[in-house]
């Protein structure tokens, strides 16, 4: 695959990420001025728990579908794998919802919404079922390289879950109306997705019991790792709310939303990259190593840009939401480390050793849980932030080290280690630098000089490619 074709494929799938960032920038000041911190905390919990439960009920079959899409088991086709994944997710959803309403509906309602609100619990159940179908339809678009359908679905989801819910505040600031809009919007997107993909999905489904077993054997150990990405921030917020810090949950949620706005580059890259890795890891290893170096350099630059511009972002926020600025960059480590794992952590999946993902995920969640349980009563929201920091750090380190044993995607381990130390140092250092521009500039300039030295060869290659493209366009 030529470099231009590779970059073009990434660009085709990046439109929803650009839209998401634009909507995020627009919505942050609206939310911070319209919703009280506590009410937004409930909305954020609904979204976070819904995504976490979606990751659980699919049992990791979304990951298995991606892995086996280009290499299906014998006498099995894509339609069979898709229907098996969708049926399993729906069935598990119904089982969990039934048990929840029979045994835990009052406790769940109290924990999520701090009141007996069974309508909210019911909406959450439907939200999880609709979200599971959306996830599989979304993956199908990516793997079929149908950028138009993917972009339409993703933008619709972003509008419903990131923007339209704010319109509920025109009628009431009560969280229930917002989560209702979010649930209905995912349902409508599912209908659209099924209609657009009906030709592929109506194909005769072929799947054997052996193939189902093979998919589940791959999926179930991988499931906690996928859930961990969703749960990394969510668990801290849920525990924070459980200790009665309802207002702080909303403030932490705004910091997380702001971090997600700046993850436009990581998100746009990851959408196409996962399909590329599974399809070309045999033949494009050298390109993958080069891409890793580019991503490391871009991550350093991204962190430096955010350090400089964070004051502008927080000037748009209202009320006590601004109190999250000291730890905002630590929250940024979650999307940034997720991006870095895209170029360092595929060895486990390629080798089909997903049991390692299970162990890593369990360790990360244990760290979040124990840190939050011990630190939140003493340190409040900063206890949750420490849990997020430790979990993101362990997840990146463990996934990278184990994956490199099975598939080498890093050309220089020493250079990557130095870059990682730089990124983590800048983000943690923001606890001090956020209030002192002079110290912040010194830290950024130091990191810039080190990055230019570490990645001088990468920068020369990028400049060379750009010059080559410029000459081609001039001659054309």
In the prediction, which pLDDT does 228 show?
Answer: 67
pLDDT at 226 over 70: no
Q: Give the predicted TM-score (pTM) of the model.
A: 0.72
> Per-residue pLDDT averaged across 226-236, rounded?
69
* The predicted structure's pLDDT at residue 362: 82
Mean of pLDDT values over 394-413: 92
pLDDT surpassing 60 at residue 353: yes
Residue 61 near residue 215 (C-beta atoms within 8 A): yes
Pick from 34-43, 129-138, 280-289: least confident: 34-43
- Mean pLDDT confidence for 158-178: 78
Q: Is the pLDDT of residue 475 over 70?
A: no
Q: Is the pLDDT of residue 44 over 70?
A: yes
Reported as a single tens digit per residue, the pLDDT across 73-129 is 777 877 788 888 888 888 888 888 778 777 777 777 777 777 777 788 888 888 988
Least confident of 21-25, 35-39, 299-303, 414-418: 21-25
pLDDT at residue 237, as a whole number: 81
Q: What is the pLDDT of residue 349?
A: 82
Mean pLDDT of 180-199: 85
Q: 315: Cβ–Cβ under 8 A, 6 or more apart, which residues?
A: none
Count other Cβ atoms within 10 Å, centred on residue 466.
10
Distance CA 88, CA 80 (A): 12
Mean predicted lDDT score pLDDT of the chain: 81
pLDDT beyond 70 at 232: no
DSSP 3-state helix, strand, coil percentages of the chain (rounded to 5)? Answer: 85, 0, 15
Predicted confidence (pLDDT) at residue 476 exceeds the cutoff of 60:
no
Q: For the chain, give every domain's residue range.
A: 14-468
Which tops the pLDDT comparison, 451 or 224?
451
The length of the chain in residues reads 476
Residue 341's nearest CA partner among 275, 274, 280 is 274
Structure tokens at 179: 């989560």
Average pLDDT in the 128-148 region? 83
Among 18, 70, 15, 16, CA closest to 276: 70
**Percent of the chain residues past pLDDT 90, beyond the cut:** 16
> Tens of pLDDT along 358-389?
788 888 888 989 999 999 999 999 999 999 99
Select from 169, 415, 161, 185 the least CA-distant residue to 290. 415
pLDDT of 8 above 70: no
Q: Which residue has the higher pLDDT, 424 or 237?
A: 424
Residue 80 and residue 205 in contact, taking contact as beta carbons nearer than 8 Å:
yes
């Amino acid at each position: 695959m030529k470099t231009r074709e590779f970059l073009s494929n990434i660009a085709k799938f990046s439109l929803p990420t650009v839209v998401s960032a634009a909507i995020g920038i627009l919505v942050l000041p609206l939310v911070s001025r319209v919703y009280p911190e506590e009410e937004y905390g409930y909305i954020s919990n609904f979204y976070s728990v819904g995504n976490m439960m979606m990751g659980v009920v699919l049992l990791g079959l979304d990951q298995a579908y991606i892995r086996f899409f280009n290499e299906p088991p014998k006498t099995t086709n894509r339609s069979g794998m898709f229907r098996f994944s969708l049926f399993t997710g729906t069935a598990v959803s119904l089982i969990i919802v039934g048990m929840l309403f029979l045994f835990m509906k009052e406790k769940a309602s109290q924990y999520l919404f701090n009141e007996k609100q069974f309508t909210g619990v019911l909406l959450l159940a439907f939200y999880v079922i609709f979200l599971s179908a959306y996830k599989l339809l979304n993956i199908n678009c990516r793997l079929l390289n149908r950028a138009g359908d993917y972009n339409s679905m993703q933008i619709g989801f972003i509008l419903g879950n990131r923007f339209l819910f704010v319109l509920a505040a025109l009628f009431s600031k009560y969280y229930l109306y917002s989560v209702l809009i979010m649930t209905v919007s995912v349902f409508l997107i599912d209908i659209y997705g099924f209609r657009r993909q009906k030709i592929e999905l109506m194909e005769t489904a072929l799947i054997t019991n052996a193939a189902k077993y093979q998919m589940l054997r791959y999926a179930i150990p991988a499931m906690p790792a996928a859930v961990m990405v969703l749960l990394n921030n969510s668990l801290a917020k849920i525990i924070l709310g459980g200790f009665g810090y309802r207002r702080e949950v909303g403030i932490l949620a705004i910091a997380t939303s702001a971090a997600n706005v700046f993850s436009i580059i990581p998100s746009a890259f990851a959408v196409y990259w996962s399909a590329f890795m599974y399809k070309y890891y045999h033949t494009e290893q050298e390109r993958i190593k080069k891409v890793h170096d580019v991503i490391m350099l871009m991550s350093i630059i991204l962190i430096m840009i955010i350090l400089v511009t964070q004051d502008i972002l927080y000037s748009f926020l209202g009320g006590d939401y601004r109190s999250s600025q000291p730890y905002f960059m630590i929250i940024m480590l979650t999307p940034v480390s997720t991006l870095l794992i895209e170029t360092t952590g595929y060895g486990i999946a390629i080798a089909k050793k997903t049991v390692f993902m299970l162990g890593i995920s369990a360790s990360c969640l244990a760290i979040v849980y124990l840190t939050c349980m011990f630190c939140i009563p003493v340190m409040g929201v900063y206890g949750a932030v420490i849990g997020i920091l430790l979990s993101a750090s362990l997840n990146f380190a463990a996934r990278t080290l184990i994956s490199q044993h099975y598939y080498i995607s890093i050309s220089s381990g020493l250079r990557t280690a130095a870059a990682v130390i730089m990124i983590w140092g800048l983000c943690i250092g923001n606890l001090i630098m956020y209030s002192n521009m002079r110290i912040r500039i010194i830290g950024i300039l130091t990191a810039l000089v080190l990055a230019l030295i570490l990645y001088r060869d990468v920068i020369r290659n990028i400049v060379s490619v750009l010059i080559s493209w410029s000459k081609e366009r001039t001659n054309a």
